[in-house]
């Protein structure tokens, strides 16, 4: 090929690529490389339809987005979840008189301030995130990371315990998890492969069992082990106030779905039990460990720009809280049906 032909070919290639380059976009992938919905070849379609319809009816209009995420988008279109739940910074926010959001966009961390120090829920993905997100966020809100007395790990996935060892070693935080999830963190850290392989967990510390309580100063947390998302997921009930008005938080530790039939079945059972426990406790506040699961980004913006008489968006009332958990349970049963079970 002559030099003139080569030059013409190069100019043509530049002209074709220029619109995408000018707009800062990479070239589009071929359609053959597009990802499709997750397939469930053994699905019991009649059971999927039954449980999906039930979940939709329970959700109504006010919980439709939660229904759609858990029942449809997350199991069938996980790439869409990844696009929304990206790794990114968000504004730290005081969401109740004693409770603060100090995490990031893809995963939450919450600080409960008591009269005797701070109880932190979850530690993000890594030591770097603990050091460069949680600690600065606490300080921006006027809190001192040296006051962290306890760190509760809601479940044994690395995006929740990745920064725990840093906080344990740097600030002396006592780390709380269930026995089975302590074992899970140890196995994951020692593994040669897997999503959390090589991620060093915190030193094994406080083992919490179902029904036990932890009191720090004027705050008491009641723990329940709610298997499903992991075998030892820890869920918590505690009191807060909003401008002096009392409320009760139900912090379910694993609102993500079960990843196999046994996990989906266990989660459905845990959610049914959790509904009974939280109804008896009068839970009216939904807090989750991913902003996508409790509309944390939107709620925090509403709080940040709210007027003094605006209601707190995390306070959803006991009836709606129960319906939310009913939707989560029904979606677990949808997932079981996708795996081929008709329970």
Residue-range domain boundaries for the chain: 45-338
| pLDDT band, residue 27 (cuts 50/70/90) | confident
Asked if 101 contacts 95 with a C-beta cutoff of 8 angstroms, the reply is yes
Asked if 253 contacts 296 with a C-beta cutoff of 8 angstroms, the reply is no
pLDDT above 70 (res 5): no
pTM given for the model: 0.91
Structure-block tokens of residue 44: 């019991």
Q: Helices (H) and strands (E) in the chain — how many of each?
A: 14, 12
174-177 and 93-94 beta bridge pairing: unpaired
Asked if 43 contacts 339 with a C-beta cutoff of 8 angstroms, the reply is yes
- The CA distances from residue 93 to 39, 101, 103, 132, 139, in Å, are 39, 5, 10, 16, 12
- The CA distances from residue 315 to 67, 241, 249, in Å, are 19, 11, 9
Percent above pLDDT 90 for the chain: 87
Q: Check residue 258 and give its pLDDT.
A: 83
The residue whose two tokens read 């912090």 is 251
**Residue 111 backbone phi and psi in degrees, to 5:** -115, 120
Q: What angle do CA 236, 165, 214 make, to 5 degrees?
A: 30
Report the mean per-residue pLDDT for the chain.
93
Q: Check residue 4 and give its pLDDT.
A: 46
pLDDT tens per residue across span 63-85: 999 999 999 999 999 999 999 99
Q: Check residue 343 and give its pLDDT.
A: 75
User: For 222-317, where are the alpha helices, taking DSSP H only?
Assistant: 261-281, 291-294, 296-304
Classified by CATH at the fold level, domain 45-338 comes out as Metallo-beta-lactamase; Chain A (3.60.15)
Q: What angle do CA 334, 340, 341 make, to 5 degrees?
A: 70
pLDDT tens per residue across span 126-150: 999 999 999 999 999 999 999 999 9
| Spatial separation of the C-alpha atoms in residues 177 and 201, rounded to whole Å | 12
Q: Check residue 6 and give its pLDDT.
A: 45
């Amino acid at each position: 090929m002559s030099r003139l032909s080569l030059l013409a070919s190069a100019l043509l290639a530049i002209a074709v690529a220029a619109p995408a380059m000018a707009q800062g976009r990479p070239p589009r992938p071929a359609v053959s490389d597009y990802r499709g919905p997750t397939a469930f070849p053994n699905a019991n379609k009649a059971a999927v339809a039954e449980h999906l319809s039930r979940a939709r009816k329970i959700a109504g209009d006010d919980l439709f987005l939660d229904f759609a995420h858990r029942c449809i988008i997350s199991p069938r279109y996980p790439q869409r979840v990844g696009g929304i739940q990206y790794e990114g910074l968000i504004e730290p926010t005081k969401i109740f008189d004693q409770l603060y959001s100090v995490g990031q966009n893809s995963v939450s961390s919450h600080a409960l301030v008591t009269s005797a120090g701070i109880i932190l829920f979850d530690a993000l993905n890594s030591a770097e995130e603990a050091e460069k997100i949680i600690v600065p966020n606490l300080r921006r809100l006027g809190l001192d990371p040296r006051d962290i007395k306890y760190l509760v790990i809601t479940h044994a996935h690395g995006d929740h315990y990745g920064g725990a060892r840093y906080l344990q070693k740097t600030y002396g935080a006592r780390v709380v998890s269930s026995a089975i999830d302590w074992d899970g963190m140890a196995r994951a850290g020692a593994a040669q492969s897997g999503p959390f392989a090589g991620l060093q967990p915190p030193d094994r510390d406080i083992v919490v069992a179902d029904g036990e309580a932890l009191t720090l100063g004027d705050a008491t947390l009641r723990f329940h082990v709610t298997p499903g998302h992991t075998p030892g997921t820890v869920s918590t009930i505690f009191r807060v106030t909003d401008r002096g008005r009392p409320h009760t938080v139900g912090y379910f530790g694993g609102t993500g779905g079960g990843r196999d039939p046994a996990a989906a079945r266990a989660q459905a059972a845990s959610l049914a039990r959790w509904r009974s426990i939280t109804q008896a406790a009068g839970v009216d506040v939904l807090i989750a460990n991913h902003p996508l699961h409790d509309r944390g980004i939107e709620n925090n913006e509403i709080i940040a720009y709210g007027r003094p008489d605006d209601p707190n968006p995390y306070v959803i009332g006991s009836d709606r809280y129960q319906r939310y958990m009913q939707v989560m349970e029904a979606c677990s049963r949808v997932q079981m049906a996708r795996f081929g079970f008709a329970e």
